[in-house]
A and B are shown apart, each in its own frame.
Chain A
Amino acid sequence: MNIVVCVKQVPDTWSERTLRESDSTLDRDAADAVINELDEYAIEEGLRLAEAHGGEVTILSMGPDRATEAIRKALSMGADKAVHLVDDALAGSDLLGTSAALAAVLGQIGFDLVILGSESTDARTGALPAMLAERLGVPQLSYASKVEVDGSAISIHRLADYGYDTVEATLPAVVSVVEKINEPRYPTFKGIMAAKKKPVQTMSLADAGIDPATVGLANAASEVTGWAKRPPRQAGTIVTDEGDGGAKAAGFLAERKFI
């Protein structure tokens, strides 16, 4: 099975994140960069499927030079090879641009199964898997908390408020995963050392046959017109327990629709 896992490098959620004053895009230099957390689950699922059914796991990442760090990490977890789509003209691409670019590369390298995290911690739209499936003309199986493959049949548990739906499709397909699905592995020392010898193919827009007019900030269909810093955290509410502490706490949560 030819599995491609899409991986995005994002600013660490633990560090202070901000947008650039000049163009309202994310200031990637201001924060530590890590693999998008959900993508680690996607990598893990790809590795497990390849281990169980045979085949190869290819990492596909679109991002600046620095994204090689995320690619190396994915390779050190055990993926076989990687494709890095890197081109200055891609900077600031919106979802339409990103999905077009990734679909172009996927069309070139081929796949049986594409796995992604359900959303990234920076943009958080959660719409890329669906757009990608649409552009590739293959079924989308979203929010998977379990994936099973049998020949060319794929079935997943799709996480829902009430439990899960079982969704079936035929490969090739696009699957997006949630963190319930597995426990991502840590790289082994052998994995780290092997990663530097694994092939990483870099592709430019021209290599991938992508029309520069479809990507980049200037061609984005959506635009950030304004933004503000999150207001400082308000002081919390202190519930004094006078025998009714439980009810008060529950009331607080219910008011905010947590329960």
Chain B
Amino acid sequence: MEFSETDEHVALRQAVAAIAGKFGGEYYARKAAAHEPTSELWKALGEHGYIGINLPEDYGGGGAGLTELTIVCEETGAQGAPLLLLLVSSAICGEIIADYGTAEQRARWLPGLASGESRIVFAITEPDAGTNTHRLSTTATRDGADYLLSGRKYYISGVDVADAILVVARSGPDDADGRTRLSLFLVDTDAPGLTVEPLPVSVQVPERQFTLYLDDVRVPADRLIGGEGEGFGQVFHGLNPERITGAALCVGVGRYVLDRAAAYASTRTVWDVPVGAHQGVAHPLAEARIQVELAALMTRKAAWLHDQGLPAGEAANMAKYAAAEAALAAADAAIQTHGGNGLSAGYGLLPYWGLARLLRIAPVSREMVLNFVAQHTLGLPRSY
């Protein structure tokens, strides 16, 4: 077993950290508070080949794997500038188009994703389906050579900065054996029949959320990604990368807030020693650091499994769970360490708590991960 990183991975960490560090936490917290996209950072990373690092070289990507994309997610987070849309654009949409798109679709969409010049966001969540994907009601009906999409999606991140949305829709009745017939469509963000409405959230994140109303949106057949009715399996293939990159983002955020807290606790003195000398302050930080480190290990394992083409579902779920819990514990301890300053706009820590809190719910909730582990790892009966 080998735990040391290759020279290239070390160099990759340093390069991403250098670019993201130029923006840093102050930039992020300001953007997050204003709900403004961190496009400058996205652009800088894209120009240097880090946004599409996992995409095929033939289409302008880096030709590397999820292991490398997780390093990008972690290091941007560790500089205090996490990029939520990496999970969606580079991880889910990039991987799905690279794996299931036709040669024409890959040539059309991947170069933009690879350079970071265009973004594709992902729409699965619906008001009446929630966590239960089998109840999705957005439908795609054949109309000549085209499809007509109708339905509603909500909490869809980044529509304002995206060129297209990868929409998960039902393209037929369930099979006799209960298999849900889902298909994936690339819908332009300005497609006629699509209404995009802001959905305000009170966590401070730069990425905005939206409700999508699809009213007979006409989608040509060349916008169907993969086989008709094969969407369920394809989505599941894309969800592991999303969970793994989500875990990496949390690891990065955890490292960042704990570094901030350690720096503060070493200098802030209100009795005769720095507050970090009090175990009541130090131990929660140390505990969170342990959790972050453990989550980082699991994240690397999950990314490695995915890159080897081995089953990665269990590791991806465990990594996502552990990393979100660790980031939340880290953010909470960091805020507590700062006392009143922990809640100030100037210290800018609350956005990281909000982000970690969000990642306990999305892209997959902690309950659904626990269900997965209970059922698949422990063989326990299912409640739903």
Contact = CB atoms under 8 A, between A and B. Distances in A.
| Chain A contact residues, majority secondary structure | helix
Contact of B48 (A69, A73, A188, A195): A188
B48 A72 contact: no
Nearest to A185: B48
B15 interface: yes
A190 B55 CA distance: 13
Contacts of A188: 15, 47-49
Interface string B11-45: 11011001100000000000000000000000000
B7 interface: yes
Interface residues of B, number: 16
Contacts of A192: 8, 11-12, 15
A189 B50 contact: yes
A189 B18 contact: no
Give the one of A72, A73, A187, A190 with max B CB within 10 A.
A187
A248 interface: no
Interface string A182-207: 00001111101101100000000000
A99 interface: no
Contacts of B101: none
A98 interface: no
Contact of B8 (A69, A186, A193): A193
A76 interface: yes
Contact of A72 (B11, B19, B50, B64): B11
Contacts of A189: 12, 15, 48-50, 53, 62, 64, 68
B13 to A, nearest CB: 10
Nearest to B72: A189
Nearest to B63: A193
A259 to B, nearest CB: 28
Give the one of A73, A186, A196 with max B CB within 10 A.
A186
A187 B8 contact: no
A193 B11 CA distance: 9
Contacts of B11: 72-73, 76, 187, 192, 195
A197 to B, nearest CB: 11
Nearest to B44: A186
Interface in A108-135: none
Nearest to B57: A190
A196 B53 contact: no
A190 B49 contact: yes
A186 B18 contact: yes
A186 B14 CA distance: 10
Q: 4 tightest CB-CB pairs across the interface, nearest first?
A: A189-B49, A188-B48, A189-B62, A188-B49
14 contacts: A73-B11, A186-B18, A186-B48, A188-B15, A188-B47, A189-B48, A189-B49, A190-B49, A190-B62, A192-B11, A192-B12, A193-B8, A193-B62, A195-B11
Interface of A: 69, 72-73, 76, 186-190, 192-193, 195-196
